[in-house]
Each structure stands twice: as C-alpha cells, then as structure tokens.
Amino acid sequence: MGLTGGIGAGKSTVAKTLIDQGAYHVDADRIAREVVEPGTPGLAQLVEAFGPEILDADGALNRPALAARAFVDDESRKTLNGITHPLIGARTQELTDAAPDDAVILHDVPLLVEGHMAPFYHVVAVVHADADLRFERLTTLRGMDADDARARIAAQATDDQRRAVADIWLDNSGTPDALAAQALDVWTNRLIPLRDNVSARRAVELPTDVQDYDPEWAALGARLVNRVWALVGANATAVAHVGATATPGTAAAPVIDIEVTATGDVADALAAGGFPQTAPGIHVSADPARFARVTIRV
C-alpha cells in the first residue's frame, strides 16, 4: 500500500496505527536521509556535483546549503534528482524485497502524487486535512515559521490531484483517535482481506444489481487503467475502461471493465498485482472494496 498526504495532514498517525497492527514500514523520508549519510556514495556524489560547501563542520550534509545550490535552476535540480532518486529507488526495492511473504507492505511516501507513483501500488491511501487546518498544526504544534508553512503546503500536490489517485481517503479534520480508528478499519476490512486474496489468487464476487450511473466510476476507471498499465505495459498495446460504467448516464452494475490488448503473457503479472484469473482471458479484482474485471484481447 502507498500512504501519502500533505504536510501536516496526519500521515504519521496512520502509519503508526498500521505499524502497530503489523504493517512492514518502508519510510521514504528515512531512506532519503539514509542514502546521503556521511561515508555513503550518495553524499560523495553530491559533494562532487555541488561542492564541499554543502557539508557542515562534522562532514554531514547541510541541507539548507544543498538547497541553496540545487534549486537555483532546472539543471541543478535535475542533477540532484539524478543522484538521489536512483539511490532511493534501489534502497526502497531492497527493503521491499526483504519483507516477509505475508507482510502488508506500507510505503510511506510524502511525494507519492508528485512522483506519479500511485499506479505501482495495490492501493493508495491519502490522509486529508484542509490546508488551513494543516497550516495551523504546522505553526502551532510544530512551531514552523508561517511563511515556510505556506510555501511547503503550496509546493505540494493539490487536494484534487490527491483525490484522483486515492483508493482510500482518510479524513483528519477531527482528533488523532478518530483518524486512528479509520486506519484500523482499513487494516481490518480492506488490507488484510486484500493481502489474503492476492496470496491465494482469489477474486472477489462481483455485484450484479444495476444502479444509476455514478460519476465516481470514471475516476475509478482512470485509476485502474493506470494500475493495469503499470502491471502489463511491457506486454500490451492498449488498456481502456470499457462497457457500461464507462458510458456517462448509463445505469449498470458497479463493475469497472478494463480491456487489455496484449502482445504477450500478462496473466501472472495481473494475478500478482491484485487481479487473479477467473477464466481464460478474464481477471477479477482481489480488492474487497473495488469491483473490477479485466478482459484480455490478444
């Protein structure tokens, strides 16, 4: 699962709740610090690119000094990302590969939306709080400078951008206990059943009752198209949301139909990614809260 949210939204409360339940935590912020610690190849590459002035008196990375040099223009930013992103990616994969076979892996990624990473997770959870409330928390609870808090909030993804990728929307306009209760419900009623279904290659039962058109079908269809592309892209020429739920105004059973035009074998990738095979050329979602069917056209 990918977990994200704007600065000050309360993501750490959700992460702690899930970790307490047994989630295997992969923290992107921690990894980003780890790969540039003193003595690492990452720090040596940064010094070579931006000069020894980015180090403090103890030889550790001086982040404000690095920012002053790395964010002056697009070329410098690309240089920074070119050094750090591969290192972060490799360490993330290393930690993910080390997870137990039955683990619910929790990727805690503040910039998941900005990094266009959502399609690579079985599900994405977004912790939400309005910008004004986040500003208040940052300035009163964390003691952050007001201008800095506004700048950080403005630099991140918008609420609409987060909604577009969210399979799970956790509202943190209330108390930490209320947010933790939401996270616990997600763990019990969605993440554990999803893990078990994916492991057993077991699909959910799709509903058949017809209902009025729901505008959310289009958003869910777009997310699933991106998810399936991430799974089968190397062996497919097209992935599309088709059928009744893709037709605005049409009543239908609430099942998102995705059609894949395949050039190679995609069955194993779909099954591992949460869409086990139920019949030749047919895969159905293993997610108990997301009804979808993938049809393979060769």
Surface-to-core class of residue 145, CB atoms within 10 Å of its CB (0-12 exposed, 13-18 middle, 19+ buried)? exposed
Both 146 and 262 in a single domain? Answer: no
Q: For the segment 169-202, what is each residue's pLDDT rounded down to a tens digit?
A: 999 999 999 999 999 999 999 999 999 999 999 9
Is residue 68 over pLDDT 90? no
Is residue 72 over pLDDT 90? no
Confidence of residue 148 (pLDDT cuts 50, 70, 90): confident
Q: Does residue 202 lie in a domain region?
A: no
Q: Does residue 96 lie in a domain region?
A: yes
Average pLDDT over residues 88-116: 93
Mean pLDDT over all residues of the chain? 94
Is residue 2 over pLDDT 90? yes
Amino acid at position 286, single letter:
A
Average pLDDT over residues 272-288: 97
Both 144 and 289 in a single domain? Answer: no
- Half-sphere exposure of residue 192, counting CA atoms within 13 Å on the CB side? 10
76 known ligand binder:
no
Other CB atoms within a 10 A radius of the CB of residue 152 amount to 16
Q: Does residue 27 lie in a domain region?
A: yes
Is residue 74 over pLDDT 90? no
Confidence of residue 12 (pLDDT cuts 50, 70, 90): very high
Both 143 and 181 in a single domain? Answer: yes
Both 223 and 173 in a single domain? Answer: no
Average pLDDT over residues 226-250: 96
The reported pLDDT for the residue numbered 70 is 85
Q: Find the domain containing 243 and state its range.
A: 216-297
Surface-to-core class of residue 288, CB atoms within 10 Å of its CB (0-12 exposed, 13-18 middle, 19+ buried)? middle
Reference 264, options 294, 227, 297; nearest CA is 297
The reported pLDDT for the residue numbered 255 is 98
Confidence of residue 295 (pLDDT cuts 50, 70, 90): very high
Q: Does residue 78 lie in a domain region?
A: yes
CATH number at residue 249: 3.30.460.10
Rounded CA separation 248/267 (Å): 30
Both 7 and 94 in a single domain? Answer: yes
- 148 or 47, higher pLDDT: 47
Is residue 71 over pLDDT 90? no
Both 173 and 261 in a single domain? Answer: no
10 known ligand binder:
yes
The reported pLDDT for the residue numbered 39 is 94
Both 254 and 179 in a single domain? Answer: no
221 known ligand binder:
no
Both 177 and 220 in a single domain? Answer: no
Helix (H, G, I), strand (E, B) or coil at 83: helix
Q: Does residue 211 lie in a domain region?
A: no
Q: Does residue 210 lie in a domain region?
A: no
Q: Please, which residues have CB within 8 angstroms of residue 47's CB and are 6 or more apart in sequence? A: 54, 55
208 known ligand binder:
no
Q: Which two tokens stand for residue 59?
A: 């030889």
Rounded CA separation 249/214 (Å): 8
Both 7 and 133 in a single domain? Answer: yes
Both 149 and 21 in a single domain? Answer: yes
Confidence of residue 54 (pLDDT cuts 50, 70, 90): very high
* Residue at a domain's end among 129, 160, 195: 195
Is residue 73 over pLDDT 90? no
DSSP structure class, residue 254: S
9 known ligand binder:
yes
The reported pLDDT for the residue numbered 32 is 93
What secondary structure does DSSP assign to 125-190, as a single string?
Answer: EEEE--HHHHHHIIIIIS---HHHHHHHHHHS--HHHHHHH-SEEEE-SS-HHHHHHHHHHHIIII
Is residue 212 over pLDDT 90? yes
The reported pLDDT for the residue numbered 42 is 96
Residue 208's φ and ψ, nearest 5 degrees, are -120, -15
CATH number at residue 145: 3.40.50.300
Name the residue with tokens 């780890």.
Answer: 34
8 known ligand binder:
yes
Q: Does residue 43 lie in a domain region?
A: yes
Both 108 and 165 in a single domain? Answer: yes
Confidence of residue 145 (pLDDT cuts 50, 70, 90): confident
Is residue 67 over pLDDT 90? no
Confidence of residue 221 (pLDDT cuts 50, 70, 90): very high
The reported pLDDT for the residue numbered 149 is 86
Is residue 77 over pLDDT 90? no
Is residue 141 over pLDDT 90? no
